Structure 1
């Protein structure tokens, strides 16, 4: 009944219950944190086409997409493409398996508390980060009522604009290699030369970090 009521309210307002953030829109700053605790800002990738994959480490669809992104990173990275993964999982109670642990294991090709080898079977060639839950939801413009499907994909162009994003219920075209190749190729051709792949990502100032 509550779900039906929610749909009725959205329908009356003329808004989709599964709408994601407005596209295009300026990408707000995002402070990525890696397994070692090092911070990297999204703005440090400006000048590149960035694909952010928000993922659940135990999700088969997320794992398959990460394998595909490894391929795209190898082929399109020299042209200015950058894939980034962000762990969405909640940490285990008691801090026994933190988001930092999840990011480290996923980067190396493992899930399920480091016990299960993932299908791609090798370390990923793009960074896996984590961030506080609310930071991620704010970036997606997702409310506490929104139920997200994963992987949730956000694509940022060279100018720092979000030009494509998964719907809350998921978007098959943003998990399709052919569709992504076409979209990324188009974005890479826009606006001059790619940013140098040798430039070190800008680090954020040291801040206290929570995994919740």
Structure 2
């Protein structure tokens, strides 16, 4: 073998040595600090590592994360239900009434769709509060639940003291509720859903400006795509965010 060939091997070995000294520690450091971007094509958050937190915002009031107020009402089965029954569960909150002729049927059809999408999750639920408790007795609520196909044991349709329910809606969640004789059905209320995490905090995704959207539109379905004003539906976003919270 010629001296020239020996010099070539020595040169190659020197280059490999320099590469290892300079670049390998940097690669290891990037991996250690999780600075390597992984292309994640899956949308099934339920199969991902449960220790990873989501990017959903906390709704803050005076600098403090807003938590579900304490409540105690009676559900469609005549059972006393409190906020503690939802601890450790991700759930949706709505305010409705069974004789509502306008938005409630649309809201609850969307909730049934969400219920069916998460039928295998024991830690998912719904809390529905009637704003017409004088009429909506446990028996009426039970018939309503059966009519719509409520099967999730963590979906409680609740009735009780009207003042307490209205205070929970208007002050606890800032979801507008009022008795108005002049409107269809005799009551006005928000058509939005609130999303609650396993620790009882109100959560939501952020808008394009980085601000929490706070609530999710409950009236427009995924199939409809947009509402009458051209704004996109938010049921699909709500489903995605439920998955994220279930994995926190």
TM-score (normalised: structure 1): 0.57
C-alpha separation between the residues in 1 aligned to 2:143 and 2:96?
13
Alignment of 1:172-211 (within 5 A): 173-175=217-219, 176-190=234-248
Q: Secondary structure at the match of 2:129?
A: strand
Correspondence for 2:127 among 70, 81, 84: 84
Which position in structure 1 is the counterpart of 2:116?
A: 74
Alignment of 1:39-118 (within 5 A): 39-59=80-100, 60-79=102-121, 80-91=123-134, 97-109=135-147
Contact kept? 1:87, 1:102, Cα under 8 Å: no
C-alpha separation between the residues in 1 aligned to 2:199 and 2:136?
34
Partner deviation per Cα, 1:66-92 (whole Å, 9 max, x = no partner): 12212212222433221222211152x
Q: Per the alignment, do residues 161 and 66 of structure 1 end up closer, same or farther by CA in structure 2, a change over 3 Å counting?
A: same
C-alpha separation between the residues in 2 aligned to 1:90 and 1:123?
21
Q: CA RMSD in A?
A: 3.1
C-alpha separation between the residues in 1 aligned to 2:71 and 2:192?
16
Contact kept? 2:118, 2:124, Cα under 8 Å: yes
In the comparison of the two structures, how many residue pairs are matched?
A: 148
Q: Per the alignment, do residues 133 and 24 of structure 1 end up closer, same or farther by CA in structure 2, a change over 3 Å counting?
A: farther
Q: Per the alignment, do residues 174 and 70 of structure 1 end up closer, same or farther by CA in structure 2, a change over 3 Å counting?
A: closer
C-alpha displacement of 1:138: 2.4
Structure 1: runs of 5+ lacking an equivalent: 1-20, 92-96, 110-121, 165-170, 191-212
Higher relative CO (Cα under 8 Å, sequence separation at least 6) belongs to: 1
Q: Secondary structure at the match of 2:81?
A: strand
TM-score (normalised: structure 2): 0.50
Structure 2: runs of 5+ lacking an equivalent: 1-59, 179-187, 205-214, 220-233
Q: Per the alignment, do residues 36 and 78 of structure 1 end up closer, same or farther by CA in structure 2, a change over 3 Å counting?
A: closer
